[in-house]
Amino acid sequence: MLSGCGWENRLIFHPSTVIARTPRDVWLDYQDHYFTTSDNVRLNGWFIPHPQAIATMVWFHGNAGNIGDRVENIKLLHDKSAISIFIFDYRGYGRSPGNSSEASVYLDAEAAMEFVRRQLKVESRDLVIFGRSLGAAVAAEIASRHHSRAVILESPFVSISEMAKVILPWLPIAPLLSAKFDNLEKVGQIAAPLLVLHGDRDEIIPFEQGQRVFAAGREPKAFYPIKGAGHNDTFIVGGAAYYDRLRSFIETGQ
């Protein structure tokens, strides 16, 4: 059950095991950590502390690559929004062994939260849950279970079945999928202040899906369209206004 359907998981998850860059390549101090899931899988992650941090972000990345592909984004977010960051790889990504499924990434996410709270000593009032793309679905699941200061979902989709209709409109596979990753169902269970961001030129996940996820969320909540941004360049196209919005939301919850 945990492994899920092989063809389905290969359709959803596109990991790389090669860590091409680390935060040191962009002159950031960081800690390389390993931690273990409840089913005994040893995962790898990085903690990048900020000396004047306003909060600590737990970052759930998307379905492709690994944490090494997020180094430029980590640098900008760390410096411009003044936050400490913990980012990790799901099983099968980077230095984390195994194969991912919907069930397994939730176990991995729970282990990451446990590590941040117990080992890094981060209190709920200082914790920000952040997810992008597929990671937004993981973040929504975790945010529905845990208290936090704020929840930020960037470029979220409605569900895997809705995305299947977008990506493969000629192939009616949606009824065959066991994976749900249902943001529309889970976002209404999030009690913390919610920020949804989405590029208005997203070529992979339609902008309107982000709007639907936002509409299903509870107050307090805010929606921030990133003008001119596609799916993978939000943190670049968004510019200073993007980082200012993240910081102000983390600080005020509005």
Which residues, 6 or more positions from 111, have their beta carbon under 8 angstroms from its beta carbon?
A: 35, 36, 37, 38, 43
**Is-cis flag, bond preceding 220, omega within 30?**
yes
Give, for 223, the enclosing helix (H) or strand (E): strand 221-226
**Structure tokens, 56:** 């600590």
Give, in order, the Cα–Cα distances in Å from 123 to each of 36, 114, 115, 194: 20, 11, 12, 18
Tell me which residue of 71, 74, 135, 148 sits closest to 109, measured CA to CA: 135
Show which residues are catalytic.
133, 202, 231
On the 0-12 / 13-18 / 19+ scale of CB atoms within 10 A, 52 is exposed
On the 0-12 / 13-18 / 19+ scale of CB atoms within 10 A, 80 is middle
